[in-house]
Amino acid sequence: MMDIRTYVMGPIATNTYVLVSGNEAIIIDPASKPEKMIEKLGDLDLKAVLLTHGHFDHIKACDGLYEKYHCPIYLHEDDEELARDKYSGADFGLVSYISCKTLPLKEGKMKIGPFEFEVIFTPGHTPGSVIFVFDHYIFTGDTLFRGSVGRTDLKGGDARTLKESLRVFKSFKEEYFILPGHDDPSTLSFELANNWYLR
C-alpha cells in the first residue's frame, strides 16, 4: 500500500510529493531547501528523486538529498541543461540549480524498490517534461494543472508541442487522480470535461 504525502514548498508554492511504501520513499520534485526535505523524510529510506522537469522551483533540494542519501536523481536528458543553469530563475530573483549527477529518464515502465510506475514524455512546458503514472495517480508536474496547463513562454517552452503532448490524457481508459506541480489536485474525468486545453 502506497502512501502519498503532499507538501507545498518553496517560494512559488510547488507541490512536492513523498511516496511511501513501508520504510522506503521516493520524492517527486523536491522544491524546498534540503534541510526541510530531510526533516519531512525522518527515518524513511530515500530510494530516488524523480523530477517532472528541470525548472528551478522543482529541484532545489536535489544536491542536498544526493549528498545525504546518495540516491539517484532522475531527470529527462532534454532538461539537463535547464536544470544546471544557475540563472534560470533570475527573472524571479531565485537561484536554484543541480550540480550533482543525474540519471536519464526514459519512457516506459520503471521499478525502484517497491515502487512500480510508468514514465511518459510530455514536452512543451519544457523540452524534457514528463509525467509519472503510479497505479491510479498521475503526477503531472507543470504539464497539466486543475483547469489549466503549464506556461510556455519561458525558455524552452513551446505551445504547439505542449498541445500535442496533452493528447496523452485522452488515451487513458480509466479514472485517475491528477496530482500537479502547483495548486489543487483534480481527476482525469474533471479535466477532460472542464479543461479547455484538453478539448
Q: How many domains does the chain have?
A: 1
**Confidence (pLDDT) at 93:** 60
Q: What share of the chain is helix, strand, coil (3-state, %, to 5)?
A: 25, 30, 45
CATH number at residue 181: 3.60.15.10
Strand, coil or helix: what is 189?
Answer: helix
Strand order across the beta sheet in which 3-9 lies:
3-9, 14-21, 24-28, 45-50, 73-75, 103-104
Q: Which of 63, 20, 60 is nearest to 44 (CA)?
A: 20
The whole domain housing 173 covers: 3-198
What does the alpha-carbon distance between residue 110 and residue 73 come to, in Å, rounded to a whole number?
14
pLDDT digit string, tens, across residues 78-123: 999 999 998 676 566 666 889 999 999 999 999 999 999 999 999 9
pLDDT digit string, tens, across residues 134-174: 999 999 999 999 999 999 998 889 999 999 999 999 999 99
